[in-house]
Structure 1
Amino acid sequence: MLPVSRLFGYVEIVGHFMIHIILVLFIIEGVSFYKPPVEMHKTRVDRIVFVALNFLLVLATFLLIYYRFA
């Protein structure tokens, strides 16, 4: 089993550290007065489809931007 630093590299760990801190803060703080868009769907299946489609849309957008302009 490789240690994390050998698998990802020191640069990635240091470079993504701030993003992980922000995500942990979101988990600790919990929800606020803002109602997330996934709340407009009532059933669990609708929410799963909504999240999956949004994930694919964002992934496709990032890949398009990366491979078009890189």
Structure 2
Amino acid sequence: MANLLWLLLPLYITLLIIFVSGISILEKNSYFKLKNNLQYKEYLAKTSILIPWIGKKGLPKKLRNSN
């Protein structure tokens, strides 16, 4: 049981950060402040919520080609 727990806890914490506190509150506030800003709209279209440097489409080409 303990072995399974160490796998589930990071997932649980990630879900809490994304949906319960932190990110959702910041995203909502930022959207209402910056919804008319074109640069912010581009940022939202390109950037992942939790890990910004990965992007919404996956790893950048530079990182994919280095492997």
TM-score by length of 1: 0.33
Which structure dedicates a bigger proportion of its chain to helix?
A: 1
User: Greater RCO between the two (CA within 8 Å, min separation 6)?
Assistant: 2
TM-score by length of 2: 0.34
Higher Cα Rg: structure 1 or 2? 1
